[in-house]
Amino acid sequence: MEVQITSENFESLKNGAQPLVVDFWATWCGPCRMVAPIIAEIAEEYDGKVVVGKCDVEENDDLAAEMGIRSIPTLLFFKNGELVDRFVGATTKDVLVQKINALL
């Protein structure tokens, strides 16, 4: 299940025991809506192995700015508290699965 990422819980999730994938999105973003079902599927499939979260850039603009988000959707991939990969734009499930598997 997807976790709502906020400025308040980001640091603890980023530094948690499991890798973290964060989808930075907004409700008005068409490509974000295209990726949303893929993110939901991945969250279910990798439950217990990877934390998959969504961060609304309008509600958490401070966090989006801190992470250098300039276009959405942007997916950030963290392992051991460090940013290890980034993907900007809509993509296929296969591409995201390859990136997530690289975290494990």
Q: Which residues are catalytic?
A: 29, 32
Residue with tokens 């990422």: 5
Q: HSE of 88 in the Cβ direction (CA atoms, 13 Å)? A: 6
**Total residues belonging to the chain:** 104
| SS3 category, 13 | helix
81: CB partners within 8 A, 6+ apart: 14, 15
> Alpha-carbon torsion 32, 1, 48, 24, what sign?
positive
